[in-house]
A and B are shown apart, each in its own frame.
Chain A
Amino acid sequence: MIVQAKTDPAPGQAASTTVVECQGLTKVFGGLLVARDKKVCALREVSLSVHQGQIVGLIGPNGAGKSTLLNLIAGLIVPTEGRATVCGHRARSVAARRNLGFMPEHPVFPGAYTARAVLRYHGALLGLSSQVIAHQMDKSIERLQMQEFIDRAASDFSQGMKQRLALATAMMSDPQLLLLDEPSNGLDPVGIVQLRDLLKHLRDTGASIVISSHRLGELEKLTSDYLFMHRGQIVNIGDRVAASKAGQLRVELVSGAEDLARRVLPAPKVLSVTDKELVIAVSDPEEVPDLVCDLAKAGARIMSVLLQRENIEDVFLRLCNEGT
């Protein structure tokens, strides 16, 4: 199933502008000399749009096409078919690059440069004046708590320090779109909280952020929209509401749960059953009273009922299982 992902703008931003627009993006890796059966289709007819002030989380198992999608939007690779635009400009064009900040999964900095020199270097590459660079540098140092290591060689940095510096370089020009590939890699818990607060602040100031991450718990605290990718396609567009509505109803009985499940419930609803416990899938909490009532009417002697709602991690695992 191919889902045309048109993620909704954040509440109160209904009339906001579209920052990223992808239409039918397909990417096949393998050149002219590569045999057709050896070519890899990393992305298949993906369509999505990201609005101003929106944070979108890209989730999916390894090899799902998340980084390929980010790279296509960043203009690092060109689509085999389809089209991607950033702020109305074709991805890869200079005008599109002017509006985006990109943070790769493994940031690398020039040779023996200090963090300060790295920031100055990136500011210069962005075409900023010395005064603006100095101002942005001060802002980044403060926001990302880099005071302690700003004058140390970036090559000696820990992964967490590198991530902070990479994020600072991506934010140097206050871009409208931030593309972040695994931004919390290597960050300590304090750093993760700071990153979360910073990204929320950026969203509030109107920046759009697309994050590819495997840290689903962190993503859940940060984003309002998810795109679940699998085998190069967007197979589900989840949001926090949908994720929190679905869940499992765990019913503890005196006995006879297996017989009861067979008589009362449709097979797909029953997730697991033993003599004394019944686990039922629910898509909405409002189903629970009716379910409990049906079970009681069928003669069930219920000892306890517990509703466990799905978090984004459960959704991810469920979708992975469905996908495979």
Chain B
Amino acid sequence: MRAYELIKETFLRRTFIWIAHLSWLALYGLFWWLFLPDAEQFGGFLFLFSGFFLPLALSAGIFGDDIASGRICILVTKPFWSGQLYIYRFLGLSLQGALHIALTGVLAFALQAFMRKGSVEGLGMWLVASWLLFNTCAALSTSLSVVVGRSFNSLLLLVVIVTGWFVTNLLMGFLNAETMTGALTNFIRYACPPFELLRKFAGGEYEKFSLTVGRFSVTKSLACVVHCLMLTTAYGIAGIVILCRREFSRVRD
């Protein structure tokens, strides 16, 4: 009952959320209708937009809004562990992401069937990878929203990730021979949102390894999924700890 109400509230939180969903879907439709690319381009576009940009938009200020409006004062005085609030809010977001990605898949298959051009082969893996990335980014953004007010958290996350990506690439270019580069690469690969690993997972790049099923290596693919889920959990736990320790009023009247 409590879980249902909180997930539902997250789902219906703001009108802006539905505008974001519809705009994104229209964007995919337009892109695929105009270009009808192959599966790799189909998936890459979906992966970036619904896996990375969509969670930033949906989880923008998810707790920041509650805190700014004062609604959090009601929520955290109710008799349940504050971590539950985080978990149900996050599940609401994840469910939204799943629904969005499922609709995107239907749209892609419908367009391909209707236009009889391009390819949707392996699109299912791209959809799964997109949803996994969505969850990780949503957890990161949600945790940040406990600390950073309103929607600035998403903007901050976007700027940090994009800047970090450029700086790291530059550094790697200059310091290719240095041992530090390896450590930095590993840190980015394993501690930051798993863009690279999930992209390889969805693109079927693990086929060269043993124990393959079709195009995919089961062990590598599983490891990639587990790694992604572990990161989501770690980001989520950080958010829960902050939420449980945070104070929610600075009024001095």
Are A76 and B252 interface neighbours, CB within 8 A? no
Are B78 and A71 interface neighbours, CB within 8 A? no
**A95 contacts which chain B residues (CB < 8 A)?**
79
B160 at the interface (CB under 8 A from A): no
Min CB gap B205→A, angstroms:
43
Are B249 and A76 interface neighbours, CB within 8 A? yes
**A106 contacts which chain B residues (CB < 8 A)?**
70
**A212 contacts which chain B residues (CB < 8 A)?**
253
- Give B1-20 interface residues, CB cut-off 8 Å to A: 1-2, 4-6, 9, 12-14
Are B1 and A102 interface neighbours, CB within 8 A? no
**B189 contacts which chain A residues (CB < 8 A)?**
none
Are B70 and A108 interface neighbours, CB within 8 A? yes
Closest to B9 in A: A110
* B interface, size bucket: 20 to 34
B114 at the interface (CB under 8 A from A): no
Are B2 and A71 interface neighbours, CB within 8 A? no
Are B69 and A108 interface neighbours, CB within 8 A? yes
- Give A92-140 interface residues, CB cut-off 8 Å to B: 94-95, 97-98, 100, 102, 104-112, 120-122, 124-127, 129-130
Q: Taking A94-B81, A125-B80 as contacts, is the C-beta distance between A77 and B249 under 8 angstroms?
A: yes
Which one of B78, B81, B250, B253 contacts A29 once the chains associate, using CB atoms below 8 Å? Answer: B250
**Residue from A42, A75, A108 whose CB has the most chain B CB atoms within 10 Å:** A108
Min CB gap A60→B, angstroms:
9
**A94 contacts which chain B residues (CB < 8 A)?**
79-81
Are A29 and B252 interface neighbours, CB within 8 A? yes
When each residue 53-64 of chain A gets 1 if its CB lies under 8 Å from chain B and 0 otherwise, what string results? 000000000111
Are B252 and A68 interface neighbours, CB within 8 A? yes
Are B79 and A98 interface neighbours, CB within 8 A? yes
Q: Taking A67-B249, A67-B253, A104-B70 as contacts, is the C-beta distance between A126 and B78 under 8 angstroms?
A: yes
B73 at the interface (CB under 8 A from A): yes
**A108 contacts which chain B residues (CB < 8 A)?**
69-71, 74
Which one of A65, A67, A97, A129 contacts B78 once the chains associate, using CB atoms below 8 Å? Answer: A97
Are A67 and B251 interface neighbours, CB within 8 A? yes
B223 at the interface (CB under 8 A from A): no
B248 at the interface (CB under 8 A from A): yes
B147 at the interface (CB under 8 A from A): no
**B26 contacts which chain A residues (CB < 8 A)?**
none
CA distance A122 to B2 in the complex (A): 9
CA distance A65 to B2 in the complex (A): 33
Chain A interface, number of residues (Cβ within 8 angstroms): 42
Are B79 and A127 interface neighbours, CB within 8 A? yes
Q: Taking A77-B248, A102-B74, A125-B6 as contacts, is the C-beta distance between A64 and B80 under 8 angstroms?
A: no
Q: Taking A42-B252, A124-B1 as contacts, is the C-beta distance between A78 and B247 under 8 angstroms?
A: yes
When each residue 61-88 of chain B gets 1 if its CB lies under 8 Å from chain A and 0 otherwise, what string results? 0000000011101111111110000000
Which one of B9, B70, B248, B250 contacts A121 once the chains associate, using CB atoms below 8 Å? Answer: B9
A164 at the interface (CB under 8 A from B): no
Are A64 and B2 interface neighbours, CB within 8 A? no
Closest to B69 in A: A108
Are A97 and B77 interface neighbours, CB within 8 A? yes
Closest to A74 in B: B77
Are B252 and A63 interface neighbours, CB within 8 A? yes
**B252 contacts which chain A residues (CB < 8 A)?**
29, 40, 42, 63, 65, 67-68
CA distance A122 to B78 in the complex (A): 8
Are A110 and B71 interface neighbours, CB within 8 A? yes
Which one of B5, B81, B251 contacts A71 once the chains associate, using CB atoms below 8 Å? Answer: B251
CA distance A77 to B73 in the complex (A): 10
**B14 contacts which chain A residues (CB < 8 A)?**
111
Closest to B81 in A: A94
**B69 contacts which chain A residues (CB < 8 A)?**
108
When each residue 205-223 of chain A gets 1 if its CB lies under 8 Å from chain B and 0 otherwise, what string results? 0000000100000000000
CA distance A78 to B78 in the complex (A): 16
Are B73 and A102 interface neighbours, CB within 8 A? yes
Are A76 and B77 interface neighbours, CB within 8 A? yes
Closest to B247 in A: A77
**A110 contacts which chain B residues (CB < 8 A)?**
9, 12-13, 71
- Give B50-69 interface residues, CB cut-off 8 Å to A: 69
5 pairs, CB–CB < 8 Å, chain A vs chain B: A67-B251, A104-B73, A112-B12, A126-B78, A169-B74
The 6 closest A-B pairs by CB, nearest first: A98-B79, A124-B5, A77-B247, A97-B79, A102-B77, A125-B78
A77-B248, A121-B5, A121-B9 are known; give 13 further A-B pairs, CB within 8 A. A29-B250, A42-B252, A71-B249, A74-B77, A105-B253, A106-B70, A125-B2, A125-B75, A126-B78, A127-B79, A127-B80, A169-B74, A212-B253
